[in-house]
Amino acid sequence: MKWQVEFGILFVYKVYMQTRLISLFILIGICSLHIQAQTVIFQQELTGEVFPIGHLLRWQTSYEAPGVHFILEKSTDGLNFQEISKLSGKGGSSIQNDYQFLAPDVVDVLNYYRLRIQQTNQAAFFSSIVSMKNEIANQFAILRYSDVLPTATFDVEVQGRARGFLQWHIHHLNQAVEDQGQWMMDFGVNNYSLDLTSLPEGPYQLCIQFGEEKETLTIQKVSEATLKTMTAGSNGLPTNQR
């Protein structure tokens, strides 16, 4: 009788262990299928950083299915998004992949970004939404300008991100000489020419302003004769003053 009880206990235990192993294998299989079914596994989801020239968006993945595309979308209200860029994935990779995109010329104060992850013949899904705020809206930027040793005129090319008047003010750094005026700015590229013929030679600071946003350039007016004996420098780089 005793051996029958022991045999019964061993039989029940054996069945129990076999059931546990079968359940474990099923669970492992389900997890494997789940991982394979995932289009992308993020190491780090979408993040952003605000720079004067735009918004830098970054994300990292640790796994990507073949044929994945990342569509970066932007919104100003958090509801209606528009595509601004499309990047192809690495394609069936299972190592860490880093992505970044610079969204330039961001005018609006508050902006929202998200990723739409798309794979061929598969339904798209979205990352979490990232909100980014400009402390001061970037309304204009100096793209290029003529020689910083002008003799008669100084030319400036400005990228306009708003419509209105650009105020300019120029003053001599060693004398009580100054001048000021305004230019009409529109969206896109604007070209301006500043007449210096009535101003004496010497170093000047030119300030260009739209609202509270300012940029300054340092130039030096010279004569034709002086220009022939000098080598044009590149010290008058624009600097933001907000």
Structural domains for the chain: 41-133 (2.60.40.10), 140-241 (2.60.40.1930)
The predicted pLDDT at position 29 comes to: 41
Strands (E), 76-119: 82-88, 97-104, 110-119
Name the β-bridge partners of 153: 195
pLDDT at 22 over 60: no
**Alpha-carbon distance values, 188 to 66, 88, 140, 163, 204 (Å):** 39, 30, 9, 10, 27
Read off the pLDDT of each residue in 161-185 and give the average, rounded to a whole number: 94
pLDDT tens-digit series, residues 207-242: 999 988 889 999 989 888 877 776 544 444 344 444
Cα 46 versus chain centre, distance: 12
Over residues 174-203, the pLDDT tens digits come to: 999 999 999 999 988 999 999 999 999 999
The confidence score (pLDDT) of residue 230 equals 60
Positive or negative torsion for Cα 75, 59, 104, 135? positive
Do residues 219 and 236 make contact, with C-beta atoms less than 8 angstroms apart? yes
Burial of 162 (0-12, 13-18, 19+ CB in 10 A): middle
Q: Is the pTM of this model over 0.85?
A: no
What are the structure tokens assigned to 184, written together? 């009409």
Residues forming beta bridges with residue 83, ordered by sequence position: 73
* Distance between CA atoms of residues 134 and 208, nearest Å: 20
The string of pLDDT tens digits covering residues 103-159 is: 887 777 789 999 999 887 778 888 888 988 877 667 888 888 887 788 899 999 998
